[in-house]
Structure formats: structure tokens, C-alpha cells
Chain A
Amino acid sequence: MNAPTSGLKPYALAVGALLVVALPWLAGDQYQLHLAALIAVYWILVAGLNLVIGYTGQISIGHVGLLAIGAYSFTILTGKLEWHPGLAVLVAGAVCGLCGLALGLPSLRLPGFYFAMATMAFALIVNELVLANDGWTGGGIGMPVDIFPAPFDTPVGYYYLVVMVALAVTLLTWNVVRHMWGLGLVSIRDTEVTAQAVGVPIFRVKLTIFVFSGIAAGVSGALFASLQSYITPDTFVFELSLFFFVSIIIGGRGSIVGPLLGTAVLTALPELVAPLAKLGNFFYGLLLLVVVLVVPEGIGRVFEVLQERWKPRKVANETVQPDLVRLQRALAEPGASGAAPPATALRKPALGEQA
């Protein structure tokens, strides 16, 4: 299932890591560095959401609401209550985890479309509440956000901070998907009934993953607010949810590297190619439609197919020689051969016979 992850060569990983570390020197200007930090911040959310959408198959289109809650919690904690930003990030994550729990408890019991609608409604509610409580959130005008203290107050320092957090989240999700948990998630995505039949505690697994994605969204929201330095309700439009969503679907369900590349490409592409920026969400919608119709498994699947064509996997042809002599002997007189269990072991103990 996670062939792209396991197929990744160590040197590709090393080159990627080197590139990420060296990026502040490679980037031409501050704006490109800002873009790189933005990709990392989005990825923190997408990594959590990927477990929900890509692995568990629950279509959540309301994660922008969790992002907004994280951003506003962080801003209120650091701005109005003057907490330390590092602590505020953690608390924002915890708050969003609780919100994810509150949203997931009722709505994760519902089937596909109902769940999608509940999460969409959640995003709208958050926007409404932000506008209504303008004493806390600044209403439609928005409010400025504090930046992080000393080592992280420069663009380069901040970039390293978000990359470290993104790396930690990626490791966490990677650890989840490559063990029994990942298999449980995939089984829920593919056939829920079968998953239940083989003993996966469906609701508990779904809820745990959803809460985890909520925490990731909260941390991402806090870092996002600090990166943007000013937030208004207009920052958290519903279409941002679509963007997260498309990143995951394009990258491929059931993979971690795919959505990572999807996030990076989709964040950078409209910024670097001007006509796409104008089309904006139309472009995302078109991309989503094309991927769903042509390669529902994600772009990663295309690469796998191409790889297969260029460098076909060797399928060894081994003929299995049945050991006819032993088979015959075993069939002829059970108990005579060493391979077959002695007949006495299979015999039911008679009454009165105690082992």
C-alpha cells in the first residue's frame, strides 16, 4: 500500500534533507523563503489530515475551521494574555485537539456524505463565531499576531522552526502508518464492514486519528498566524479546505510522500505561474476533477506505472517440485511418517482419561 514510502532510496532522502537544510542559501529572495515556510506550515496540517482522508477515507472538508481555531487561539494567548509563543503553540494544539474531539464524537458515527456535511458546517460555524465575538477576535477587521522570540524572529530562523515541527509531525504520521494502526486505518477506508468483522474498533480508531489531525491543525494554525503576522476571517476561506484536500488526493491516498509533494507543488505553483493565481480555486477544482476521473489513486500511481514500464520488476519463475514420495507415504498411513502428527494427539480423550 505504501510503496512510494518504502521504495524511497536512502540517497533520495539524504538529498531531500540536504536541500531542505540548505534552502535559506538557495532561495533567491525573502519571498521564496516565506513560501517554503508556508509549505512546511501547510504540510503540518496536511500530514494530520492525510491520516484522516488518505488512510482512513473520512472526507473532512472542515479542517480550515480547525486551522482558524488554532490561529485565533495562538493570537489571543500571545497578544491579549501575553503568553510565551512556544507555550501558546502547544495550547493551541490542545485546544484544536479538544475541538476535533467535540466535532468527531457526534459526526464520525455518520456515513460518508453526512460526515462531510458536518465538517463543512463546522468550518462555517467557526467563521460565524469569529465574526460574532469581535471583542476577542477583532471581528471582520482582524488583528495582528506576535512573532516568535530571539532565534526564530528572522525569516531563516522561523523557517528552521517550522521545518523542525513539520519533520516531527511527519515522523509521527509515518510511525502510525507503518504499524498495525496504519493497516487498521486502510481497512476502514477500504471496507468498513470487514474491518469491523476482523475486530478493528472502528469508532475509536477514527476518533483517535481525527483528534490527532486536530492537534496537528492547531499547531499548524498557530505557526500559520505567526507567519502571516495578521489574520482576518477572510484568511480562512472555505476554499483553503479544498486546497488541503486536493493536495492529498493528487498525491495519492495511502501515501505520505505523495501528499507532501502535492502540498509543495500546489502551494508554489500558483505563486510562480501568474495565470494560475488568477484562476486560483478554479484551477484546484479542475485538478481535483481530472485526478478523480483519470487517476483516482493519485499522481504517485502514474510514477509507479512508468517505473514499471521502464524497469520492470523481476518476477522470478520458480517451479515447485512436489515431494510426491513423502506425500504418498503421509496419505497411506497417517502417523507412520515424521511429518504427520501422531494419531494419538488428535484423538479425543475418552471419559475418565485425564491428561
Chain B
Amino acid sequence: MLTVFVTGLAVGMLYAAIALAYNVMFSTSKVLSLTTGHLAMLGGVFGAWFIQAWQMPWWLAMLGSVAVGALFGLVTELLAIRRVLNKSDEHLWLLSTLAVATMVQQGVALWWGTEPKPFPRLFAQDFGVGVLDQKFWLPIGATIVMAIGLSLFYRRTMYGKLFVAMSEDAFAARARGISTDRIRMLSYVLSGALGGLAGFAAGQLTFAFFALGHLLTLNGFIALAVGGLGSNLGALLGGAILGLLNAFASYWFGGEYQQTIAVGILLLVLLVKPEGMFGSRNVRPV
């Protein structure tokens, strides 16, 4: 039973990390990018590649994964977001991020192969330790560090405050002389780094697998929608709830209906409380 709980929590924290990455991007651009899950997929795949093919120590591989994630975030912003936001058509960013997500997924599939490959162990550890295994506490720890780091970043640093200003009112921020384009680019780099780190930390749990992206995009979004768009605390709680419910549901009913349950939760939350647990209701259609 404890194993089920810890597994659920670890998976949930991975979803929460994706939700955090969504939040960072959403705060500056009001875009929910379909590439978000692919950030973590890249982190996992490149982490495994760095360690196995290049024989890097784990910390260097981690930095490499974070760098790959950040780079992909930057590319997404330059390719799919910048020009589309200038055109200000509501749906276009959905299409362009879907295109970028597909391209990176197929690129990884062609290069890395379509089979899930095991992620190497980062620390020497006995396999018999059960719930204390690194594959559980690595994603949990990484996500908690991320959430605390983000909170400090937003409150203590100049750039963090610029992010907050832009998420409150982009036009006002621009009027005050903030280069909103640069801040948006930085937010995509930051969110890419977070996603890459999450994918690296959860690599032993998820394996290095090219098709993870869409699944993580969906589940991270469900965590975010349950917790409330824009709230980091909500992202953590939403992720935890989703992961735990999934784990216990597959423990009791069998693993066949995992996505069905997750999506059931999503629809229920959206119909009953569309703004999520901690989100702010913001209705302004005109």
C-alpha cells in the first residue's frame, strides 16, 4: 500500500512539474503550449543518451538535459510563438505548437528509436530498498526544489518581478519600458529548463521514450486545470491528487482505465469549478 502511495506521489510530482512549466510560459504569453510535455521527454531521452553514450557523470548529464530543454524552449518561442502572437489570431498558437511538438517527437523517434529504453541509475543503490528507491524520491525532490526555487525567483529577483508584472498586465508592463519580447523569451527558456530537469529526474520512472510527450502534455494540463491555471501551489496539489488517484485506481480496478479516470477527473473539475482549486476566475469575453 505504501508503495502504491509513493509511486502515485512520484508520478504526480512529475505531472506537477509539467504544470509548473505550463505556468511559467502562460504567465508571460497567455499561451498553453502543446510542447510542454515534450520538454520532459527530451530531458529523459537526452539524459539517458548523455550518461550511456557519452559516459558523463550524473550532474553533467543533468546540466546537459536542462540545457537541451532550455534550448528547445527557446526554439519553440522563436519558431512557433513570436510571429503567431504578433498576428493575434487566437487559435494559431495551438496549431504552431502542435506542429513543433510533432516535429520534435518524430525527430526523436527517427534518431533514438521507438522503443522505451531504460534510464541508467544515477546513484549506486540497492534494488531492495522499496519505497526509498531513488526513482521515487528523485522526481519528488526535484519538483519540490523547483517550486521553492520558482517562488524565490518570483519574489526576490528583478527578473522574477518582471515576470509577475507581465503576467498581471502585459500592456502596462510594456508601457513601463519592460521589453516584453525578451521577458517572454526568457520565460520559455526557463520553462524549458524546468521541463528538462523534470524529465531527467523522472527518467527512471518513465524510461527514455519518444512518445511520452503527448501523454505528459495531457496529464500536466489536467494537473494544472485541477489546481487552477496560474497557481503554482495549485499545480503541486493538482499533480499530487492526479498521481495518487491514478495509482490507487489502478491498484483497485486494474491498470487498463488510467487515462479514462484522469480525463473523468478533468471533465468533472471543468464542469463543476472551471477555474480549478486555486485559480482566479477571470471572465472577460469582450
Contact = CB atoms under 8 A, between A and B. Distances in A.
Interface of A: 57, 59, 61, 106-107, 109-110, 112-114, 116-118, 120-122, 124-125, 128-129, 131-132, 192-193, 238-239, 242, 245, 249, 278-282, 284-286, 288-289, 292-293, 296
Given A118-B266, A293-B83, A281 B106 contact: yes
A114 B99 contact: no
B98 A61 contact: yes
Contacts of B271: 106, 109
A243 B118 CA distance: 31
Interface stretch (B156-164, B178-186, B213-221, B235-243): B213-221
A59 to B, nearest CB: 5
B99 A117 contact: no
B60 interface: no
* 6 shortest interchain CB distances as A-B pairs: A285-B102, A132-B256, A282-B106, A289-B99, A288-B99, A285-B103
A281 B257 CA distance: 28
19 contacts: A59-B94, A61-B98, A106-B270, A112-B94, A117-B218, A117-B221, A120-B214, A121-B218, A124-B214, A128-B257, A192-B285, A245-B95, A249-B95, A282-B103, A288-B98, A289-B99, A289-B100, A292-B95, A293-B83
B92 interface: yes
A4 B83 CA distance: 27
Contacts of B270: 106, 110, 114
B85 to A, nearest CB: 12
B102 A242 contact: yes
B266 A116 contact: no
A117 B91 CA distance: 13
Contact of B106 (A131, A285, A296): A285
Given A61-B98, A249-B95, A293-B84, A128 B103 contact: no
Secondary structure call for the B interface:
helix
Interface in B59-92: 79-80, 83-84, 87, 89-92
A66 B43 CA distance: 33
Contacts of B262: 121
Contacts of B98: 61, 242, 245, 285, 288
A129 B258 CA distance: 10
Interface string B20-44: 0000000000001010000000000
B32 A125 contact: no
Contacts of B257: 128-129, 132
A282 B109 CA distance: 10
A59 B95 CA distance: 9
B110 interface: yes
Interface in B223-279: 225, 256-260, 262-263, 266-267, 270-271, 274
Interface string B96-119: 101111110111001000000000
Given A124-B259, A128-B259, A284-B102, 15 more contacts: A112-B94, A113-B32, A117-B218, A120-B214, A120-B218, A121-B222, A124-B214, A132-B256, A281-B106, A282-B107, A285-B106, A286-B99, A288-B102, A292-B95, A292-B99
A99 to B, nearest CB: 14
B286 interface: yes
Contact of A128 (B90, B91, B256): B256
Contacts of A239: 102
A129 B257 CA distance: 7
A285 B258 contact: no
Nearest to B211: A238
A235 to B, nearest CB: 16
B259 A285 contact: no
A193 B285 contact: yes
Given A112-B90, A282-B110, A293-B83, A124 B99 contact: no
Contacts of B285: 192-193
Nearest to A194: B286
A192 B285 CA distance: 9
Contacts of A249: 95
Contacts of B225: 114
A289 B79 contact: yes
A288 B89 CA distance: 16
A112 B259 contact: no
